[in-house]
Structure 1
Amino acid sequence: MNSPASTTNADNCFHRNGDATVGNCRDLTSHFLELARLSALPEAVEDDGEESPTELNTINSSGGFLVVSPDKLSVKYTSVNLHGHDVGVVQANKPAPFKRLVYYFEIYVKDAGAKGQVAIGFTKENFRMRRQPGWEANSCGYHGDDGLLYRGQGKGEAFGPTYTTGDTVGGGINYASQEFFFTKNGAVVGTVTKDIKGLLYPTVAVHSQNEEVYVNFGQKKFAFELKDYEAVERNKQQMAIEKISIPTNMSYGLIRSYLLHYGYEDTLNAFDLATKSTVPPIYLAQENGVDEHDVSYSLNDRKILRQLIRKGEIDTALAKLREGYPQIVQDDKSVICFLLHCQKFIELVRVGALEEAVKYGRLELAKFLGVTGFQDIVQDCVALLAYEHPQESSLGYLLEDSRRELVADAVNAAVLSTNPNKSSHYLHSRLERLMRQLTACCLERRSLNGNQGEAFRLHQVLNNSYKNAKADL
């Protein structure tokens, strides 16, 4: 099958466009040229532009009842608590970031004061700053004096233990499960549904004389093992995915269509033999006139072409194309010709035939320098000559097997496109189209939830499945 790097590049192409139809890269030319360009870039990571809280907000706080330290990370109650509204409340300087799996912060109770009415929670920006978190609508708070959880009203609900001087308490948001969770001294106390929409601010309250807490926004190691918690949550997601039941004949059919599509004839024959030898045998039904005949087109030729390219025998592959599919290479400035010529140059560099590479570059690559869309890739290829050990350079990706796979995929699609009875799906197999639809649905679901939580990345799910499968062996 395609290498993980090749799969990742296709996945990156999809995510950068952010749209299922654009992600399909309908046109053969633009699709593989874009993949060739993306392979030079590191794995795509969502740049959400979010800033995390770093300190307490001394401007928007009930300053008459508390004092915030100069470093803006400690708060002390300085009043005598004559009234219920004499609460010392302070929010973080920024809202909790939400384009991630989990957000979390902690407080350390330096002094529980006269009554230990310390609270930790989350509030909206316009929260009334003389009320405990949880006492007002659109807020949630875990209180130290009674261990109750308050959610939008003055009456609390049983939740966890009380906490006092010397305790470390944390508050977090699990965006995957849409829950608040709270911890005490490194252990989860409990969770509750997050029913508040919009941006939320980490919030701390003190409410009796001499109460003092230190706030940790991540500038120091948490008492709670956040990384372990995140790993458990990701594993829950993975297990939920793996519990989804797919009929055996359907999953086998998808795999078979994938092998057909990419020309893995030998693997396909072994796969067919294996399905027939199972007890009971697996019968693959033809569903709604599935396009198996289309993707069987020139199967043996496509297998041979892929094998040649994977071995680096580009001249032989070009000769076979000229003989059997001249329409693919008749335009010597087409994308397919470009990718093959680039790969030939790369193979010469790989074996150290630098003088021959220079001659070949002047003969075949130079003509692409003035063509829009090709120049940057040509420059990267030629720049390999500048390195004594090109595999170890920033351009080493050009010498990886995934590059050969990319060129082989492009040639495979080009051959499929010559089928006079072809469908419109010669770029992607049924399995890949299904995966793209899955990705589009997950992105849409996330958008309906205000884009909260991590973006769905298909290759991460596949890699996790692969790692879990290896661990089970």
Structure 2
Amino acid sequence: MVKCEESSMPSDPGRIDLTRLAARWRSEAEWASVDSALDAEPEPSELNTLNSSGLFHFVSPDKMSVRYVASQHHGHDVGVVQANYPAPTKRTAYYFEMTVKNAGEKGQCSIGFTTEGFKMRRQPGWEASSCGYHGDDGYLYRGQGKGEPFGPTFTSGDKIGAGINYVSQEFFFTKNGNIVGSFPKEIKGVLYPTIAVHSQNEELTVNFGKEPFAFDFEAYIYEEKLKLQLVAEKAQLQSGLTHWIVRSYLLHYGYQDTLESFENASEVNSSSAQVNGFGGQLEYALNHRKVLRQFINSGDIDSAFQKLREWYPSVVQDDNSVVCFLLHSQRFIEHIRRGELEAAVIYGRAHLAKYYNNKAFNSLWTDTAALLAYGKPSDSSVGYLLDSRQREFVADAINSAVLATNPNLKDQEGCMISCLEKLLRQLTVCTLERRSLADDDQGEAFFLHRDLNCQSRLA
């Protein structure tokens, strides 16, 4: 991806903020890495053999099973063990299950969530900042020794699950694939998946997601997201607002043909576009911007240069500008695309060498020149330059530069990004801020590329 030093947008239309523009055209893998970096969390994968009561031994070497081997004399003789990591929080929900392989003498096993400093010889739910669903009585315990009726008891062969819904801020428990019940999540902070055994020969095996759950957790997540979508769909918007937002996006990037098809298929009257604030300056040079984009997307950089000199000479008058650098770089890339290595070398020496010491262009310049080093450049680490997205990136830069030549331009930064993209970025920031302030930094934030990929899979 293109990287350069951050700079503000100057008045010269040939000088585009390369960093901000490049952010629009990361590959899907790069967007996935951005989302992962923002929401990266370790996940529980096994039981913690070190931080435990020790009143059991581990049946399996994979640290997924425990069996009670102590002698039960009082309430502190509990074999309790937490997962090796706390439940992840930056998602819609978290869930794990246990299988009761043997209910033992009294069936006093349990499942739930506890905090990091939980007393490791007490049942989950018997102490503050913990909760647990207990098998011998089917009671729910929420931070005190006295439980409350909740669900059925469970015994040998049953699969019991425990989850946290970060959207509704609730805990929930399941039995053999069915939800038993839910209740408000009143415990703050980091919580560990926890299981406990409390009578002779009780044996439990946990599943942190490596094996299919008895409960259809994926369907549960889908339903929760569908609820959020239905809430959003009920929101009242100004009549025709979404039409004008989409229209402004097409106008901004010069997609004239798509705009005409959109207008023809729409029932909204386009004559009020100016009144709604999405017309005017974005319609500037629409046909010229369309033609320039077509030239660049087809790899005809010479024609793009020619038209810019004819229509907007100020954009290319400074050969050291970002616009000229991008066009020269793309012309070099097109030679590589066609396998014209000798022509690429000649063109690079004539038009790209002068940018070598310009720090603002250093990353893209280096990647562009590196294309010559590979026998199959499309399979290399700089192969992204041969993708159609790179042409789009250059076309966007030219589009922004042309928009900046509008003498009636009121918002010069508006040349860089459309109203639709501003709204989506604002939505991302707001959901992150809301999660941080209102929900103890828990729950899934909105990321456009991830949500679009999720919706395509669901469809």
Deviations 1:382-441 (A, max 9, x none): 333344443344433222222111111111111111122212222122222222221221
Q: Tell me what 1:46 maps to.
A: 36
Deviates more, 1:413-422 or 1:96-105: 96-105
1:173 aligns with 2:164: yes
Matches within 5 A, 1:317-396: 317-396=304-383
Tell me which amino acid in the other structure corresponds to 2:430.
Answer: C
Counterpart contact for 1:180–1:192, Cα < 8 Å: yes
The 3 A distance-change label for structure 1 pair 69 and 267 is closer
The alignment's TM-score, normalised by the length of structure 2, stands at 0.86
Counterpart contact for 1:252–1:284, Cα < 8 Å: no
Cα displacement (A) at 1:444: 1.0
Deviates more, 1:51-60 or 1:207-216: 51-60
Counterpart contact for 2:53–2:121, Cα < 8 Å: yes
Cα displacement (A) at 1:236: 4.2
CA distance in 1, matches of 2:262, 2:77: 73
Cα displacement (A) at 1:338: 1.2
The 3 A distance-change label for structure 1 pair 231 and 393 is farther
Deviations 1:127-171 (A, max 9, x none): 233332122222111111122222223343333322111222222
CA distance in 1, matches of 2:410, 2:384: 33
Match of 2:18 among 30, 46, 71: 30
Structure 2 unaligned blocks of 5 or more: 11-15
SS at match of 1:81: coil
SS at match of 1:160: coil
Counterpart contact for 2:112–2:133, Cα < 8 Å: yes
The 3 A distance-change label for structure 1 pair 124 and 334 is same
CA distance in 2, matches of 1:131, 1:88: 8
1:438 aligns with 2:455: no
Counterpart contact for 2:244–2:278, Cα < 8 Å: no
Q: Tell me what 1:16 maps to.
A: none
Instruction: Report how many residues are paired.
Output: 445
Deviates more, 1:156-165 or 1:326-335: 156-165
CA distance in 2, matches of 1:467, 1:245: 28
Q: Tell me what 1:456 maps to.
A: 446
SS at match of 2:96: strand
SS at match of 1:182: strand
Deviates more, 1:347-356 or 1:300-309: 347-356
The 3 A distance-change label for structure 1 pair 269 and 147 is same
Deviates more, 1:183-192 or 1:140-149: 183-192
Cα displacement (A) at 1:336: 1.0
Tell me which amino acid in the other structure corresponds to 1:197.
Answer: K
Cα displacement (A) at 1:302: 1.3
CA distance in 1, matches of 2:58, 2:53: 10
CA distance in 1, matches of 2:378, 2:235: 42
Q: Tell me what 2:87 maps to.
A: 96
Deviates more, 1:309-318 or 1:459-468: 459-468
Counterpart contact for 2:132–2:141, Cα < 8 Å: yes
Counterpart contact for 2:137–2:152, Cα < 8 Å: yes
Cα displacement (A) at 1:49: 5.1
Deviates more, 1:171-180 or 1:337-346: 171-180
CA distance in 2, matches of 1:450, 1:337: 48
Identity %: 55
Counterpart contact for 1:249–1:284, Cα < 8 Å: no
CA distance in 2, matches of 1:109, 1:383: 59
Q: Tell me what 2:407 maps to.
A: 420
SS at match of 2:132: strand
Structure 1 unaligned blocks of 5 or more: 1-8, 14-21
Q: Tell me what 1:110 maps to.
A: 101
Q: Tell me what 2:13 maps to.
A: none
CA distance in 2, matches of 1:411, 1:367: 21
CA distance in 1, matches of 2:362, 2:226: 44
Deviations 1:173-224 (A, max 9, x none): 2323322222223343333322211001111122222222223334555444
Counterpart contact for 1:238–1:465, Cα < 8 Å: no
Tell me which amino acid in the other structure corresponds to 1:76.
Answer: R
Matches within 5 A, 1:126-275: 126-218=117-209, 220-275=211-266
The 3 A distance-change label for structure 1 pair 158 and 459 is same
Cα displacement (A) at 1:371: 1.3
Tell me which amino acid in the other structure corresponds to 1:432.
Answer: E
1:299 aligns with 2:289: no
Cα displacement (A) at 1:315: 0.8
Deviates more, 1:309-318 or 1:388-397: 388-397
Deviations 1:422-470 (A, max 9, x none): 12222122222222221221111122223323332112334445666xx
What is the root-mean-square deviation of aligned Cα atoms in Å?
Answer: 3.1
SS at match of 2:30: coil
Q: Tell me what 1:308 maps to.
A: 295
